[in-house]
Amino acid sequence: MTLLRRVRDGYLRTYGEMPEGVAFVPGRVNLIGEHVDYNDGLVLPMPISAGTAVAWGRGDAPGVEAVALDLDEERDSFGPGDATPHQPVDWRSYLRGTAAAMAGQGLHASGARLAIAGSIPRGSGLSSSASVCVAIARALAEAGGVQASAETLALAAQSAEHNWAGVRCGIMDQMAVAAGEPGCALLLDCADMSHRNLPLPDDWAVMIVQSGVRRGLVDGHYNRRREDCEAAAKALGLSSLRHADAEAIARANLDPVVTRRAAHVVEEISRVAQAASAIEQRDLTRLGDLMRASHASLRDQFEVSEAHVDRLVDLLGHAIGSEGGARMTGGGFGGAVVAVMPSSQTNRVRARIEEDYAPPSGAPLEIMIEQTGRVLAGECE
């Protein structure tokens, strides 16, 4: 059963009528540019085929009713302005936080019924929470009969992460799923949210492999990395590390750990700019080199990788060779690995990984392949 059919049927089962509409928002994989969005840097994510669907209809009473179809059909409801943070953090935190953020921007749904379902593995590093929040925001806007820009939806979703889930994320994930186009990488400047979609060559493929190590960001790792970056910027007298350079960091006599964090950010922002140029020049070899350098920096300087992820990156790198590359993707501490390669090589690479890698949990190996050739060049502009 398709995701859209599943969410429509779930809405009918819950509310006794068909929905008025369905909002779908994809997940995202970040090709390069990790842990730089909250430093006002450049990032290069792309939307994927998996995502979140929210079926919506207008309710008879003010407020929001919702059902999480993937979580034993748990229910939640609250009136206008009545939502309070749910503890411990779960799907209701994202629902309530997004609804509060939309209302705070004057985008009230007078009454909305929602049914939520998704196809992104939670904890995979493919931005399931951003997809959920933006899909909820889009459904609430549609139920309220208002048009909301990608930036508005993204900011509402980010507010839910910050203020209701306790993750001080940047804006990359939310903008990637709100403004990205299929078959394209989104070059996003997180300082001002300016962006443009770059069509990927139609003979390239993006492979996403789950390490089998489920990651978590709310346990403090992510927030501590952000604090290190903020400490570096403050010591340098800057508003963010976007304005730093390697020489200034070396001269600043920072704590060694903070120095490594800052060096990663400065180098990673430069790698993103070079990667965008490599895509436009169809230079897969150069893009692969940049992805390998990014992973090494995340492993050694930012220290957010993990042994199984490192092994999977190495296996993919050897299988792909020089024409393409692989790196961890997402916040780190587990999750997924992303690789870019010629589409003609996907079957061979997949077979090698299936032979050489087994998730430590014993679960089946999960591999997704995003074929860029399904989108004609120009559709992304």
What class has domain 200-374? alpha beta
Q: In whole angstroms, what is the distance from residue 236 CA to residue 252 CA? A: 7
**Predicted local distance difference test score (pLDDT) of residue 109:** 67
Place of tokens 């492993």: 299
CB 21 within 8 A of CB 117: no
Other Cβ atoms less than 10 A from the Cβ of 2: the count is 9
**pLDDT for residue 215:** 67
Amino acid symbol at 357: Y
pLDDT digits (tens, 9 = 90+) for 191-214: 999 999 999 999 999 999 999 998
Closest Cα to residue 209, out of 107, 118, 320, 293? Answer: 320
The structural architecture, per CATH, of the domain 3-196 is 2-Layer Sandwich (3.30)
Q: Is the pLDDT of residue 105 over 80?
A: yes
Mean pLDDT of the chain: 92
Query: What mean pLDDT is predicted for residues 208-227?
Result: 80
Tell me the per-residue pLDDT of 157-189, one tens digit each, with 9 for 90 and over: 999 999 998 888 889 999 999 999 999 999 999
Task: Identify the band that residue 381 occupies on the pLDDT scale cut at 50, 70 and 90.
Answer: very low
More confident residue, 24 or 170: 24
Query: Burial letters for 12-47: b for 16+ Cβ neighbours within 10 Å, e otherwise?
Result: eebbeeebeebbbbbbbbbbbbbbbbbbbbbbbbbb
The bridge status of strand 204-210 relative to strand 367-371 is: antiparallel
173 is catalytic: yes
Comparison of pLDDT for 59 and 45, the residue scoring more: 45
Among 209-223, 247-261, 279-293, 340-354, the least confident range: 209-223
Bridge partner list, 326? 339
Q: Which of 110-114, 118-122, 306-310 has the highest mean pLDDT?
A: 306-310
Percent of the chain with pLDDT over 90: 80
Q: Are 231 and 258 in contact (CB under 8 A)?
A: yes
For the beta carbon of residue 277, count every other beta carbon within 10 angstroms.
14
pTM exceeding 0.85: yes
How far apart (Å, rounded) are the C-alpha atoms in residues 13 and 229?
Answer: 48
Question: Which residues, other chains included, contact 173 with Cβ-Cβ below 8 Å and sequence gap of 6+?
Answer: 28, 37, 45, 127, 129, 130
Catalytic residue among 76, 173, 189, 289: 173
Distances (CA, A) of 225 to 40, 67, 175, 242, 331: 15, 34, 21, 16, 10
Query: d(Cα 238, Cα 41) in Å, to the nearest integer?
Result: 14
Could you tell me the residue ranges of all domains in the chain? 3-196, 200-374
Q: How far apart are CA 345 and CA 47, in angstroms?
A: 22
Strand partners, 117: 53
